[in-house]
Amino acid sequence: EAGVTQFPSHSVIEKGQTVTLRCDPISGHDNLYWYRRVMGKEIKFLLHFVKESKQDESGMPNNRFLAERTGGTYSTLKVQPAELEDSGVYFCASSQGGLRVAQYFGPGTRLTVL
């Protein structure tokens, strides 16, 4: 069974540009989460989808971040316009079968904003 995949693996952009990250969860997983790790800090929650619906976006830093999950399958996270402090590793995770179960992570997208 394929795991969570993310694209791109790396992205280097300049301040003010737009970047879109993509996550494909494990097939059949209704829950999809985005997390971020900035340098020197712990991994932090950004938002949660159940199928195509946003359940919790309390971790989104500000309105420059927009997440979507078209048709309840893959998800995108767009940053527009990017700022220096957005640099970090963005992880996607998915799960199925309830909210207490373990989540499975993708390899992450390393975003560098210059």
Partner 1 sequence: RKEVEQDPGPFNVPEGATVAFNCTYSNSASQSFFWYRQDCRKEPKLLMSVYSSGNEDGRFTAQLNRASQYISLLIRDSKLSDSATYLCVVNMANQGGKLIFGQGTELSVKP
* Positions that interact with partner 1 (CB under 8 A): 31, 33, 35, 41-45, 48, 55-56, 59, 91, 93, 95, 98-108, 110
Measured from the CB atom, is 15 or 54 closer to partner 1?
54
Q: What is the DSSP letter of 25?
A: P
Measured from the CB atom, is 81 or 107 closer to partner 1?
107
Measured from the CB atom, is 63 or 102 closer to partner 1?
102
Identify the burial level of 18 via C-beta atoms within 10 angstroms of its C-beta, where 0-12 means exposed, 13-18 middle and 19 or more buried: exposed
- Work out whether strand 10-13 and strand 109-113 pair parallel, antiparallel, or are unpaired: parallel
Q: How far apart are CA 37 and CA 87, in angstroms?
A: 9
